[in-house]
């Protein structure tokens, strides 16, 4: 594909520029006013930049909003959503004035914060500040990986940029710093961060909490730093955006000095940030900006300015695909499968085989299964938060500048950014990304995992070192409440396999489940390969019976399944016939028809066994042997015994539950 457009041209008269900018400003003002809720200040400030970005810079097509080689635009400060909705409407996307009038109403195509899949032109779901910055890093990284893999000298079918607009709040959130640091390290030259530095936050001037020199920080990250001192100076805006597009070898930060609530009585005032202006202020603003039009009325000249006669790049990309198909048919066929058709690769996996009774930690089994799958599915990529050797997730070679064709992403100790970057890769398309770390550190990335679920992304989160059996590292590293927390999150499936075979089945399930993220929770310590899992499959992950017994049923997950089997044998020797059910996923168990679930669990008293919080179990069982406090530091066997997780202690607990029977 040819280089990005080097001469903006188009409608440049100041009066047209003002009409176009004001059209966007007042769509935001009117929508927020009608909803009596929202954030008008940033749209009023940034309208000129977004106008030039959408009409002269972005390669996008309102009639083909999802074409793969479009430029990506992310609004990280999702509270300013009317800035994006207004720009999409004015640019000709399928978003009508009537949709804008339902801003922040339910149901609505214009929710309070942008949501992927709900509104054409919205790339990712943003709202929590900083997430969009990290998503944009993932989008830009995915572009570089795809370009290295699929472009040929005759045709660059992957050649697009990622732009993200953020503000002071994003800059304060640690996730943006984590992600930007990695972006600089990876030299993602097609990433541009547009930083709206308006010196205002919700509570007042940003100087209440922020006085650092952001430019210096980003220079240290390896960014090129540019400035727009006046966002209403369209010559300066155009020249700076063009310079950002021409930057090579490093990402770009554009610091833009703007005036929140521009033209209103709350000009440069934090009161323009998070509330409607009010009828009197809206009238004053219309007079100040010479906008005589009623609410939600856009003059024809504004639409003309927002829809200039220029090539979107879509037709050129179609021709480029034809050249690529001729030049390298096999490579283009793979590009088409992954990016256009989005069909998962070969499914006839050759899973590792295990002998009954052998000891294999489920994290080791995960690594073996993941590599077996990656051999057949080239779109699998991912990495760890500097614990790849511990999570067993190494696939092949490192993805880094200048060669992005590896499979392993070294995220560094950046759990939160890792997860949000993974979301960006998943949202980009063409890859099936995973992220991994110790289970207790899922707390560090939970907001991004939540957004992955909201977006229904096909992502995989791998958490190892899953219980108090971690031992010596003590309470800070021993997850207790994390299982209950993730199980409470809508839209995800949490799998805690009992042995190596259940782990392989869990990986197979995660690869095929496309409607949201899947979480695998895995042991550090070796676990016996169970005779009853020889025929386990993805259908078994909602629960399967390993042992029959009419007096009692022990229901367990992960490392406690083998403990339940040992305890069941002791109970049987004491005359209590005990069944054992392995339930890798409570979500899948809940989804089974009620009659199947009841048949699986049986009519005998049910006791759950899990070395974690008992919260959430009582939906399925009568009693729980679990952890209702933090763990402790010591050898694995010492810690398990200290908290009642030996076969003999389980028998004693069960007998107490049964009233001494």
Q: Are 199 and 168 in contact (CB under 8 A)?
A: yes
Q: Are 12 and 234 in contact (CB under 8 A)?
A: yes
Q: Are 411 and 418 in contact (CB under 8 A)?
A: yes
Q: Considering just the CA atoms, what is the radius of gyration of the chain in Å?
A: 28
Q: Are 195 and 166 in contact (CB under 8 A)?
A: yes
Annotated catalytic residue: which of 173, 388, 415, 587?
A: 415
Quote the CA–CA distance of 544 and 580 in Å, as a whole number.
Answer: 9
Average pLDDT, consecutive stretches of 10 residues, N- to C-terminus, the chain (661 residues): 38 71 98 96 96 96 97 97 98 98 97 97 97 98 98 97 97 97 98 94 86 96 97 94 97 95 87 89 95 97 94 95 97 94 74 96 98 94 97 96 94 98 98 98 98 98 96 94 98 98 97 96 98 95 98 98 98 97 98 97 97 97 96 95 98 91 55
Ranges of beta strands (E only) in 425-571 are 432-438, 460-464, 493-495, 518-521, 526-528, 544-547, 552-556
Q: At what angle do helices 647-657 and 560-573 cross, to 10 degrees?
A: 70
| Three-state SS at 85 | helix
Pull the structure tokens for residue 13: 């008269």
Picking from 348, 416, 388, the residue whose alpha carbon sits closest to that of residue 176 is 416
Q: Tokens 């909003």 correspond to what residue?
A: 65
φ and ψ of 134, to 5 deg:
-70, -40
Distances (CA, A) of 289 to 26, 32, 91, 265, 268: 10, 18, 22, 12, 16
What is the predicted pLDDT for the residue at 195? 98
Rounded to 10 degrees, the C-alpha dihedral 263/268/270/272 comes to 10
| Three-state SS at 355 | coil
What is the predicted pLDDT for the residue at 1? 35
φ and ψ of 108, to 5 deg:
-155, 145
φ and ψ of 426, to 5 deg:
-65, -40
Buried b (16+ CB within 10 A) or exposed e, 593-620: eeeeeeebbbebebbbbbbbbbebbeeb
Q: Are 559 and 637 in contact (CB under 8 A)?
A: no
Quote the CA–CA distance of 644 and 419 in Å, as a whole number.
Answer: 35
Rounded to 10 degrees, the C-alpha dihedral 64/460/504/436 comes to 150
What is the predicted pLDDT for the residue at 346? 59
Pull the structure tokens for residue 272: 């323009």
Span 296-344, pLDDT tens digits: 999 999 999 999 988 899 999 999 999 999 999 999 999 999 998 888 8
Distances (CA, A) of 494 to 518, 532, 586, 620: 6, 21, 8, 16
CB count within 10 Å of CB 108 equals 18
The secondary structure of 297-333, three-state, reads CCCHHHHHHHCCCCCCCHHHHHHHHHHHHHHCHHHHH
Helical spans, DSSP H, in 297-434 = 300-306, 314-327, 329-335, 362-376, 388-391, 415-428
Could you tell me the pTM of the whole model? 0.96
CB count within 10 Å of CB 104 equals 18
Q: Are 477 and 448 in contact (CB under 8 A)?
A: no
What is the predicted pLDDT for the residue at 7? 42
| Three-state SS at 127 | coil
Active site residue 415: yes
| Three-state SS at 123 | coil
Provide CB contacts within 8 A for 78, sequence distance 6+. 113, 114, 125, 126, 127, 132
Distances (CA, A) of 442 to 293, 506, 626: 51, 19, 20
């Amino acid at each position: 594909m040819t280089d990005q457009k080097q001469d903006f041209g188009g409608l440049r008269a100041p009066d047209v520029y003002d009409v176009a900018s004001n059209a966007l400003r007042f769509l935001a003002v009117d929508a927020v006013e009608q909803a009596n809720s929202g954030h008008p200040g940033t749209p009023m400030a940034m309208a000129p930049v977004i106008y030039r970005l959408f009409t002269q810079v972005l390669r996008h097509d309102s009639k083909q909003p999802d074409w793969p080689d479009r430029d990506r635009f992310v609004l990280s400060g999702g509270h300013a959503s009317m800035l994006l909705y207004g720009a999409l409407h004015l640019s000709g996307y399928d978003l009508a004035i009537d949709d804008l009038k339902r801003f922040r109403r339910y149901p609505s195509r214009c929710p309070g914060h942008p949501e992927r899949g709900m509104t054409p032109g919205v790339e990712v779901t943003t709202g929590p500040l900083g997430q969009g910055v990290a998503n944009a890093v993932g989008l830009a990284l995915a572009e570089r990986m795809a370009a290295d893999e699929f472009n040929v000298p005759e045709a660059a079918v992957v050649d697009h940029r990622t732009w993200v607009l953020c503000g002071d709040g994003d800059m304060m959130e640690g996730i943006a710093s984590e992600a930007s640091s990695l972006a600089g390290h990876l030299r993602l030259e097609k990433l541009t961060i547009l930083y709206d530095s308006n010196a205002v936050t919700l509570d007042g001037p940003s100087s209440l909490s922020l006085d650092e020199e952001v430019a210096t920080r980003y220079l240290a990250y390896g960014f090129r730093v540019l400035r727009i001192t006046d966002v209403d100076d369209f010559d300066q805006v155009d020249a700076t955006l063009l310079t950002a597009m021409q930057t090579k070898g490093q990402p770009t930060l554009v610091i833009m000095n703007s005036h929140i609530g521009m033209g209103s009585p709350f000009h440069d005032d934090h009161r323009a940030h998070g509330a409607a202006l009010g009828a009197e202020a809206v009238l004053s603003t219309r007079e100040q900006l010479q906008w005589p039009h009623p609410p939600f009325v856009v003059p024809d000249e504004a639409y003309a300015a927002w829809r200039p006669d220029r090539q979107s790049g879509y037709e050129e990309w179609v021709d480029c695909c034809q050249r690529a198909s001729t030049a390298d048919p096999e490579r283009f066929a793979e590009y088409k499968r992954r990016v256009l058709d989005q069909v998962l690769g070969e499914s006839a996996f050759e899973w590792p085989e295990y002998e009954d009774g052998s000891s294999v930690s489920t994290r080791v089994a995960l690594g073996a299964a993941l590599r077996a799958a990656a051999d057949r599915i080239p779109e699998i990529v991912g990495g760890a938060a500097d614990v790849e050797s511990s999570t067993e997730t190494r696939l092949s070679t490192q993805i880094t500048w200048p060669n992005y064709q590896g499979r392993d992403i070294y995220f560094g100790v950046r759990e939160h950014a890792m997860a949000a970057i993974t979301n960006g890769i998943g949202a980009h398309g063409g890859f099936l990304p995973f992220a991994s770390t110790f289970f207790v550190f899922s707390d560090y990335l939970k907001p991004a995992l939540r957004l992955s679920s909201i977006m229904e992304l096909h992502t995989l989160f791998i958490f190892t070192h899953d219980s108090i059996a971690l031992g010596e590292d003590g309470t800070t590293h021993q997850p207790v409440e994390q299982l209950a927390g993730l199980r409470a999150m809508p839209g995800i499936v949490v799998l805690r396999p009992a042995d190596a075979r259940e782990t392989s089945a869990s990986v197979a399930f995660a690869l095929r489940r496309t409607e949201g993220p899947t979480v695998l929770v895995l042991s550090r310590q070796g676990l016996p390969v169970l005779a009853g899992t020889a025929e386990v499959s993805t259908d078994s992950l909602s629960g399967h019976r390993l042992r029959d017994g009419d007096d009692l049923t022990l229901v367990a997950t992960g490392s406690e399944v083998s403990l339940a089997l040992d305890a069941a044998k002791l109970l049987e020797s004491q005359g209590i016939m005990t069944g054992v059910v392995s339930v890798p996923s409570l979500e899948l168990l809940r989804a089974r028809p009620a009659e199947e679930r009841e048949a699986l669990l049986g009519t005998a008293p049910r006791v759950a066994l899990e070395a974690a919080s008992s919260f959430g179990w009582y939906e399925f069982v009568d009693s729980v042997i679990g952890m209702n406090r933090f763990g402790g530091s010591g050898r694995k066997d010492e810690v398990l015994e200290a908290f009642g997780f030996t076969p003999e202690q389980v028998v004693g607990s069960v007998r107490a539950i049964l009233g001494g029977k």
